[in-house]
Structure 1
């Protein structure tokens, strides 16, 4: 090789080779297992040896003749080369360029193991001659001057040291503020996920590189226990799942269903065998459909106004008026923070494989003076679908609040009267509710979503004792037909359809919907709202077994798939606003509608900081009995928010998450098996038609005729022909799909929001020549005449009243 010759380089062992080295390295270059001067920039050797050898010298010690030098990073003394940062190209090329974009890399390679070195890449054409002509070779040679230039060399060395020190300081400061400090707040998260930590070994492929000058960053797209998860905002946490669960998320393949919540739960791309595989789920109550006792801090802010917040209707009115406090957008702040991706990771890590997500109708639209924040919560439901897919969790979508209110309780949107299937607007509100069922069914039946949103609860807690089981059955049959038209019949098309028992009890539905395609009966068993008792958990440990177990077993045979969509650990109605804002409790004798005998103070049931290990074990035993008795269940609810007044959870018996953290919920739901020691357990499997097999969808014509839609009369309203109804001519508010952008550019097809293009009838909207009452009117006389050339008239909405429990 021409040019100045190198000084003789000493062979042998450095006198400090036995000292482990933990100093700085090139980015991406792991430290070697022994000390070598090449790894320490500007380390000086013995006085007579001249300047320190730079870290890319490598095997030049042993190479003979005019052959290229193997870099240190590719030598036999270190780990294999895995990126350009480990070769001298990193040191020679300007920061931020990689070997395919840097100007000098087109002319220079110093690694003979590189395929491009010998000219194998015709575009680059790198060879030894190219190396000789590199302008950087002369700079490398100039570092090794003859001994006669030693004094001048020292000046350059010390000057270089000063420059490097300044550069290191700048880099350290930049790294601290850009990387270290933002991640210093990643506190540990219990229940299956914690922030921070190192990347796990369970990785798949990397994202496709973008056409930028930055080196491609490999991000794990799958992993198991101990792996590092990267979230949408770029932050990471360590996934903790001791049950064999695996997550999967690739921005280039956002509809991949390879994730699995636990080893015993089928992955999303596998068949969930209803009646064999167990549904062990939890509700995400209070998130997209708020309830005062679940998120008290939202309501406490507006407790003392002239229009106190007691439901989402009045909460929305107060927020909208509070422009200084953030206005109605405060609800979106709640959506962003109350449930996050890490909750889904924790749910899978808790051994749970389903979530039931309450969603209000205003996720689709609002009309007239309805004050709710329209459409926004749908955006966060789509996030829930993405997170559920990522962690292998299936979703039961529950339509929780309907126009006019289906039960008069605060979680239906407005506390007060029942106006769905009841009252003068009962039929019109039912029409509108069925439309919203249709819009949701069309979306979730699309192939991109059907394996994640696998169950659809068409109406939460309708008050059949008020408007009758017959009319509820008519409404359910119409909803069934709508969902199946959206999805098509046959196994795997569209969701399992869940019908709440309407507070009529499981036996009342035996024999209904025979041969229906994948229908499920939903019951919400609670012990806390009946007669109150001073007995503790120790005396009530097996009560769920006798109260719920036999009926659940019988219904699995008499109806088919039966789930408990809600239950809790509460054995009394103690807890802040469990019954409603400022409505008191039965336990303390101050709940309206009494008289209620005073049992005692609720403090012992709400101050969980005073619960000892014995009480926590008793609560856990109660939880295990509940799980075993109900078999397929969704606990209500995953999370209870802190009160802004006390700063803590005031209804602890209702929070699964808090129970895991504090030790009264089982870490493994499989531990519930056999708790009830039932002598008459249900023995499956379900019949073929109940799971979408032979005969599914062939409902007897006599049943369809007996429960035809619409009803002939409406409770509290009279004959259907005398009541306001809508016409199916309105535009369809198709729900928007999420947007996924590939790392290489372009978007992924996320569906059009409508599974069945042949389903094209319009939405139920008012007839211009007919008169209507306010959808939330309550008790009132129907308009007369019902339809004419008269203008539409509305009756003011009455004040809220309490609807008694069934």
Structure 2
């Protein structure tokens, strides 16, 4: 009887994998976010903050300087923070997609706010660079009227008024319709593959996740009806910091085919006590544990790790053991909080193993990922990661294979055309029996 149970279990898992592989259609995204560019985020750095030392987000930046001075400073920032050379460098590292955050005020003028328009011209320029380099682009509505989360990444830190003012959700949908109409036109169809409805709407007070859900339903319909030439443009919703499984009914709710609707989840290991108390192997195990929820969600609708990073709060001692922390005093001890260009090979290896575990899980159990960010401090900087050896080159290279109990089939990365069939082999779904 046990023999037949094993056989039937094997068949079920095989069928599940065939279905998943059919869904994926060999379209794995290996992307990078363009952070701090068309929406300012002070912690990512940049000379622009020297022009308004008291500012802490884009709202206070524009408010402090006034329209003319803010526009001048922003133009300088927009033209230098992310360039054609950046795009080509990322492409040379095997990246095949970009997720570009933008604020609503750049799309539709908001007379009631101090924000400055002009970023769309730079977005359009970047789309041309991306297309030339063979990269695809997600346009991500990162900041919406009233702020969906009160974080600086929404444009304005502080109050969360998106759902408390009845005009904000309709205004958000108007912005999305404008984006959909423009970027589904034939001249963008080879580069813009998705629009994200809103980045990181919180699910707690004063937001209500049921209101966010209804917004997704209404916005999906509005975007679909606004599409011009590219009817295949994917529409992405963020998980709103609730379980991925809570969104499994959405494809049938909005009557979406498999590829029309996508789910974005952000996976970091630095913002909660649950993760900041982990040592090096603990972070790897935590990364591996995400494979189950991601796989289950990805079987229902394309699921992406739209943001993740190499950041972890870990120190390594001279004997090779690791511990949670941001500082240590023992001779030979070093922490990830130190300048990454000064990391010892031992510490580089710790971070590299964490990165590889995450990449394995995203490659094997989701439809793709976007690292946060192309630049930034320490382990948040993708380009530094490649140059310093804690991000694999090529992206498929593994110094720590099989950490999560499976290995990926070898593939060649050749830009977006390097899509591969990411069935897990040995020790994977079938190897677990």
Q: TM-score, normalised by structure 1?
A: 0.43
Q: How many residues align?
A: 364
Q: Distance in 1 between matches of 2:78 and 2:133?
A: 20
1:465 touches 1:503 (CA, 8 Å); kept in 2?
no
Match of 1:667 in 2: 393
- Does 2:129 align with 1:387? yes
CA distance 1:612–1:429, change in 2 (3 Å): same
1:624 touches 1:675 (CA, 8 Å); kept in 2?
no
Q: Distance in 1 between matches of 2:373 and 2:248?
A: 28
Q: Distance in 1 between matches of 2:278 and 2:302?
A: 33
Match of 1:569 in 2: 310
C-alpha offsets along residues 660-709 of structure 1, whole Å, 9 cap, x if unaligned?
A: 1222111112225964444699xxxxxxxxxxxxxxxxxxxxxxxxxxxx
The one of 279, 299, 316 equivalent to 2:62 is: 316
- Does 2:203 align with 1:464? yes
- Does 2:221 align with 1:481? yes
Q: TM-score, normalised by structure 2?
A: 0.78
The one of 408, 417, 431 equivalent to 2:170 is: 431
Which residues of structure 2 form unaligned runs of 5+?
1-21, 316-323, 409-433
2:98 touches 2:138 (CA, 8 Å); kept in 1?
yes
- Structure with the greater alpha carbon radius of gyration: 1
Matches within 5 A, 1:313-712: 313-320=59-66, 327-374=70-117, 376-421=118-163, 423=164, 425=165, 427-466=166-205, 467-487=207-227, 493-514=231-252, 515-517=255-257, 518-531=260-273, 533=276, 535-537=278-280, 539-546=282-289, 548-557=290-299, 559-572=300-313, 605-631=337-363, 632-640=368-376, 651-671=377-397, 675-678=402-405
2:357 touches 2:404 (CA, 8 Å); kept in 1?
no
C-alpha offsets along residues 165-197 of structure 1, whole Å, 9 cap, x if unaligned?
A: xxxxxxxxxxxxxxxxxxxxxxxxxxxxxxxxx
1:292 touches 1:298 (CA, 8 Å); kept in 2?
no
Higher RCO structure, 1 or 2 (CA under 8 Å, sep 6+): 2
**SS across alignment from 1:617:** helix
Match of 2:18 in 1: none
Deviates most, 601-610 or 283-292: 601-610
> Alpha-carbon deviation of 1:338?
0.7
> Alpha-carbon deviation of 1:416?
0.6
Which residues of structure 1 form unaligned runs of 5+?
1-271, 575-585, 589-598, 641-650, 682-806
CA distance 1:627–1:604, change in 2 (3 Å): closer
> Alpha-carbon deviation of 1:604?
5.0
Select the structure that is richer in strand: 2
C-alpha offsets along residues 581-605 of structure 1, whole Å, 9 cap, x if unaligned?
A: xxxxx967xxxxxxxxxx8699751
CA distance 1:478–1:327, change in 2 (3 Å): closer
Q: Distance in 1 between matches of 2:314 and 2:271?
A: 6
Q: Distance in 2 between matches of 1:367 and 1:487?
A: 24
CA RMSD of aligned residues (A): 2.7
Q: Distance in 1 between matches of 2:393 and 2:169?
A: 42
Q: Distance in 2 between matches of 1:556 and 1:534?
A: 29
2:198 touches 2:237 (CA, 8 Å); kept in 1?
yes
**SS across alignment from 1:282:** strand
**SS across alignment from 2:99:** strand
